[in-house]
Amino acid sequence: MASRVLVAVDGSEQSTAALEHAIVEHPEAELIAVHVIDILAGMYGEHYIDYQEIRTGQEQRAEGLLNNAEEVAAEHDRELTTETIIGKPATGIVDAAEEHDVDLIVIGSRGRSGVSRVLLGSVAETVVRRSPVPVTVVR
């Protein structure tokens, strides 16, 4: 049984299902919820974009997502630690797992398949390939 579980939170239904899975399946584990802000993802294009404005908006969104994660945990009489990371999602999740010395990562899957999966990649797939610990992918 895992004693420390990291859950990736992105606001999707799948990430909420991943959090609930971690809560139910690992009732004694310390839970750590992380949200990774990929600032550069919103900065491509021909127009000037204010980096600080984007970062502030994404940090506010992350705070809301992690507050929601805390509320989900509280509904199950659980507490969790939260962290916001700036960087590429898969790398941030794997690095956080190593930093927090977790036993397991739980992540939601967006369920992409076929061409969109090949072209866009998959954070969950990359985490599975790079993780130093087991990964549970929840659909």
Instruction: Note the pLDDT tens digit of each residue in 97-106.
Output: 999 999 999 9
Report the distance separating Cα 32 and Cα 45, nearest Å: 34
The CATH number of the structural domain formed by 4-138 is 3.40.50.620
Instruction: Note the pLDDT tens digit of each residue in 77-133.
Output: 999 999 999 999 999 999 999 999 999 999 999 755 555 555 445 899 999 999 999
| Best CA proximity match to 4, nearest among 28, 36, 34 | 28
Q: Residue 24: CB partners within 8 Å, gap ≥ 6? A: 76
pTM of the model: 0.88
Report the distance separating Cα 125 and Cα 80, nearest Å: 25
Q: Looking at this protein, which amino acid is placed at residue 102?
A: V
Contact indicator for 32, 84 with CB cutoff of 8 Å: no
CA 70 vs. chain centroid, Å, equals: 14
Share the mean pLDDT of the chain. Answer: 89
Per-residue DSSP letter, 45 = S
Distances (CA, A) of 118 to 44, 80, 125: 20, 34, 11
Q: Looking at this protein, which amino acid is placed at residue 104?
A: L
